[in-house]
Chain A
Amino acid sequence: MKRLKSLCLLFISMLKIGLFTFGGGYAMINLLEHEFVGKRKWLNNDEFADLVTIAESTPGPIAINCSTYIGYKTEKLLGAIVATIAMCIPSFSIIFVISLFFNAFLENSYVAAAFKGIQACVIFLIFCAGLKMAKKLKKTVYAWVIFIATFVCMILLALFAVNFSSIFYILISGILGLLIYTIGYISNNRKKSHSDNESNSGEEK
């Protein structure tokens, strides 16, 4: 009975957050914190900080990552399912209803004109999203090289109509990141063992 109650609360909280947050995952993080750390006290501050790190560094929509994780932390598998479904219901129903009327709506010439203006705005919003992410990035040499290589390659390949999925850029850069770390790690260890050996032989003398 107590479990049912907390599942219901979870469902309603997620539904509410899914219904009232605009602008996707990052906007949602504040609301989630308010609801689950401040109001319900289901998570403490450290757990919430972990949650944000996990949601940002795993693939997929950030809001879904958050709701699955919070659901699991409170009511295990069933909680995860309930929370994730609740988060999707508002999006799904609102967009589905809009999609039914969208084309008819666009037939109005003023609406079509408005959307021509909006298209230019969306391109600007994508630029802003890129800027916002770039600001948070640690500007190492590696980051610059990968950024410029991806940027230039993708534009050139698009202009020459060569098919090369974004997935490859993601995979290659991930492997490179790991490789550089591994090489650094091994060479550090070697240096360390080398200097250890030297100090040992020094003691023997």
Chain B
Amino acid sequence: MIYLELFLAFLKIGVVSFGGGYGMISLIRETVLSYGWLSEEQLLNFIAVSESTPGPIAVNMATFVGSSQAGILGSFVATLGIVLPSFIIILIVAMVAQNLLKYAGVKATLGGIRPAIIGLIFATFVTMFLSSIFGIKTIDSSFTFDWKGLIIFCLMGVINFIHWKIRKKSISPIILIVIAAVLGVLLYGL
């Protein structure tokens, strides 16, 4: 049943994902691809919309995926799934285990996880990059080269770098998305 699948899939993501929205990206990607809920392109579109609308990215993603698969009830169960673990864990911490995070053992476990999360984000980045720009999903895939995508990707890096040099802070992701949309229309649409 799709509702139960959505609920359990996002519950699982909510339980094991650390580091906020992008920390979850590898799990969300695996889940939606393996259930066949979204293609890689759709996933990237959904991330863009989740990033450029208000609210927590993870909740936005859950609502979006849920709605695309099973309408309003689907988005409700998916959102419930991603929120419930947080809610329960924080309640436990706030009620009975206020000092839980000060124990060295807990700190060591959490510290142990952090580099793995970063590894997962970079690996997800590389697999997404290979699949969108070069069409490489597995070693058997045939090679296609989307040079326009590569140009846009590189320009994002250049713009980000220039902004950082001038303003001493990173550019807002929403502005980058808008610039990329304009570049997309110019390169792919005309």
A binds B: yes
Chain A residues within CB distance 8 Å of chain B = 18-26, 28, 53-65, 68-69, 72-73, 77, 80, 84, 87-88, 90-92, 94-96, 98-100, 102, 106, 109-110, 112-130, 132-134, 137-138, 142-144, 146-151, 154-155, 158-161, 163, 165-167, 169-178, 180-182, 185
Chain B residues within CB distance 8 Å of chain A = 12, 14-27, 30, 34, 41, 44-45, 47-60, 63-64, 67-68, 72, 75-76, 79, 82-83, 85-87, 89-91, 93-95, 101, 104-105, 108-129, 132-133, 136, 138-140, 148-150, 152-153, 156-157, 160, 170, 172-174, 176-177, 179-185, 187-189
In the complex, are the beta carbons of B56 and A169 less than 8 A apart?
no
How many residue pairs at the A-B interface have CB separations less than 8 Å?
Answer: 386
Residue numbers in B under 8 Å from A19 (CB-CB): 54-55
In the complex, are the beta carbons of A173 and B116 less than 8 A apart?
yes
Bound CA–CA A113/B182 (angstroms): 9
In the complex, are the beta carbons of B30 and A91 less than 8 A apart?
no
| Partner pick for B56 among A62, A122, A166, A173, CB 8 A cutoff | A62
Q: List 18 A-B contacts (CB under 8 A).
A: A24-B20, A26-B20, A60-B89, A61-B14, A63-B56, A64-B59, A64-B86, A69-B93, A91-B54, A119-B149, A121-B179, A127-B122, A130-B121, A146-B112, A147-B119, A171-B16, A181-B105, A182-B105
Chain B: minimal CB distance from A25 (Å): 4
Main secondary structure, interface of B, reads helix
In the complex, are the beta carbons of A73 and B94 less than 8 A apart?
yes
In the complex, are the beta carbons of B152 and A58 less than 8 A apart?
no
In the complex, are the beta carbons of B105 and A133 less than 8 A apart?
no
In the complex, are the beta carbons of B112 and A178 less than 8 A apart?
yes
Bound CA–CA A60/B24 (angstroms): 8
Residue numbers in A under 8 Å from B111 (CB-CB): 138, 177
